[in-house]
């Protein structure tokens, strides 16, 4: 449904999250249509007819109570199905932190009202001279595991990458770790998804998902250490 609405699925877990969305949508649609069908059937079937007095129904008979208890338990059963898949996907995305030898590290800093992205650079380590710092511009490589560390300089923000179906609150005083693996190249939106003051709506950024060659070229161009050593030679 999300892709049908035009939102590309560009991470390994995007389709799993979309599945839960669809499950909730179709279960809700099923109950809505069924309830409306029964509702209109009863309205028409038992409409006012000349000579037929209205019936007073107390709803105390077992045969009458069944109209409540059966749908009640059916709804609960469907809820358990939703819960099962929701917990499974939540665990995969939020509770689990995959590891890979060639994983990329990036620090994401929210502040009123911009995003700062500290890319680890060629050495793969943060807080080293080859880090690449960009404002409102995150560069990642397709098919590579990325570990991000979210930090805030001031208030609550929310790091949202719709094409990844990723959304995570950013909390001052905490470092929140998470992950994603992009599956499609291209340039997409990042948006703050937590009201963070007057400029909240003006806190968008871009994510650029590059092939390994493009990403290597971007890194070579932007790493100050690489540039400095090249000029020194
Ligand atoms: Cu930052 Cu809203």
Tell me what pLDDT residue 232 has: 46
**The pLDDT of residue 112 is above 60:** yes
Q: Is 151 in the pocket of ligand 1 (CB under 6 A)?
A: no
How does pLDDT run across 62-73, given as a tens digit for each residue? 999 998 999 999
Q: In the chain, what percentage of residues exceed pLDDT 70? A: 96
What gap in Å lies between CA 97 and CA 148, rounded to an integer? 11
Q: Is 192 in the pocket of ligand 1 (CB under 6 A)?
A: yes
Which residue's CA lies nearest to atom 1 of ligand 1? 157
Confidence of residue 225 (pLDDT cuts 50, 70, 90): low
How does pLDDT run across 23-41, given as a tens digit for each residue? 999 999 999 999 999 999 9
Tell me what pLDDT residue 214 has: 95
Tell me what pLDDT residue 121 has: 86
CA of 190 to the centre of ligand 1 (A): 11
What gap in Å lies between CA 106 and CA 121, rounded to an integer? 9
Q: Is 139 in the pocket of ligand 1 (CB under 6 A)?
A: no
**Widest distance between CA atoms in the chain:** 105
Tell me what pLDDT residue 226 has: 52
Q: Which distant-in-sequence residues (6+ apart) come within 8 Å of 50 by Cβ?
A: none
Q: What is the pLDDT of the chain when averaged over all its residues?
A: 92
Q: Which distant-in-sequence residues (6+ apart) come within 8 Å of 3 by Cβ?
A: 9, 18
Tell me what pLDDT residue 6 has: 85
Tokens representing 127? 């807080």
Using CA atoms, how far residue 151 sits from 63, 160, 171, 200, in Å, is 59, 14, 7, 17
Tell me what pLDDT residue 203 has: 93
Single out the residue of 209, 108, 105, 106 nearest to residue 157, CA to CA: 108
CA of 156 to the centre of ligand 1 (A): 7
Q: Which atom of ligand 1 is nearest to the CA of 203?
A: 1
More confident residue, 85 or 57: 85
Q: Which atom of ligand 1 is nearest to the CA of 201?
A: 2
More confident residue, 144 or 59: 144
Rounded to an integer, the average pLDDT of 200-223 is 93
Confidence of residue 45 (pLDDT cuts 50, 70, 90): very high
Are residues 109 and 152 in contact, defined by beta-carbon separation less than 8 angstroms? yes
**The pLDDT of residue 201 is above 70:** yes
**The pLDDT of residue 229 is above 60:** no
Q: Which atom of ligand 1 is nearest to the CA of 197?
A: 2
3 state DSSP class of 206 = strand
Q: Is 157 in the pocket of ligand 1 (CB under 6 A)?
A: yes
CA of 172 to the centre of ligand 1 (A): 12
Alpha helices (runs of H) in the chain, residue ranges in sequence order: 14-45, 62-90, 212-222, 224-232
Q: In the chain, what percentage of residues exceed pLDDT 90? A: 77
Strand 146-152 and strand 104-111: the pairing is parallel
Q: Where is average pLDDT lowest: 26-30, 191-195, 213-217, 221-225?
A: 221-225
Q: Is 194 in the pocket of ligand 1 (CB under 6 A)?
A: yes
What gap in Å lies between CA 181 and CA 191, rounded to an integer? 18
Tell me what pLDDT residue 55 has: 84
**The pLDDT of residue 58 is above 70:** yes
**The pLDDT of residue 189 is above 60:** yes
Tell me what pLDDT residue 124 has: 86
């Amino acid at each position: 449904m999300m892709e049908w609405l035009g939102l590309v699925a560009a991470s390994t877990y995007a389709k799993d999250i979309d599945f839960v969305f669809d499950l909730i949508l179709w279960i809700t649609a099923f109950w809505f249509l069924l309830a409306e069908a029964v509702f209109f059937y009863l309205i028409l079937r038992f409409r006012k007819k000349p000579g037929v007095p209205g019936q007073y129904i107390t709803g105390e008979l077992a045969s009458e109570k069944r109209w409540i208890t059966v749908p009640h338990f059916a709804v609960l059963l469907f809820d358990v199905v939703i819960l099962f898949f929701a917990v499974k996907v939540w665990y995969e995305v939020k509770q689990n932190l995959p590891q890979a030898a060639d994983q990329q590290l990036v620090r994401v800093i929210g502040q009123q009202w911009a995003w700062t992205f500290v890319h680890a650079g060629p050495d793969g380590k943060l807080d080293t001279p080859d880090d690449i710092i960009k404002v409102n511009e995150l560069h990642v490589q397709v098919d590579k595991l990325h570990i991000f560390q979210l930090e805030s300089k001031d208030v609550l923000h929310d790091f949202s990458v719709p094409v990844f179906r990723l959304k995570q609150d950013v909390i001052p005083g905490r470092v929140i770790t998470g992950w994603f693996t992009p599956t499609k190249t291209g340039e997409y939106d990042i948006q703050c998804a937590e009201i963070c003051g007057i400029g909240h709506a003006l806190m968008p950024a871009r994510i650029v998902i590059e092939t390994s060659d493009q990403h290597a070229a971007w890194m070579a161009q932007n790493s100050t250490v690489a540039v400095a050593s090249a000029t020194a030679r």
